[in-house]
Amino acid sequence: MEQQKHVDASPEHLTTTIEQGRFCLARCTCGWQGPARRARSQARTDGVAHIATVIA
C-alpha cells in the first residue's frame, strides 16, 4: 500500500514520502526523487534536505 505524507515548502517544491514495499522515498513536485530508504525518518530527512538546498 502506498502512503503519502507532505512536507510544506514553496509551491514549486512540495515533497512527499512514498512507501514502496519495504522501502520509503521522498519525491518532489519539481521531479526530484531521493534514494529508497528502509527508514521513513531518513526519507523525510532527504526531502527536507532537498528543500533546504533549493531555498538556500
The pLDDT of residue 5 is 56
The pLDDT of residue 50 is 95
The pLDDT of residue 10 is 59
Domain map (residue ranges) of the chain: 4-55
Q: What is the pTM of this model?
A: 0.77
- Nearest CA to 40 out of 22, 56, 28 is that of 22
- Alpha carbon 11 to its chain centroid, in Å, reads 15
Cα 19 to Cα 4, 12, 35, 52, 54, distances in angstroms: 7, 22, 12, 22, 24
Q: Give per-residue pLDDT as tens, 30-50.
A: 999 999 999 999 999 999 999
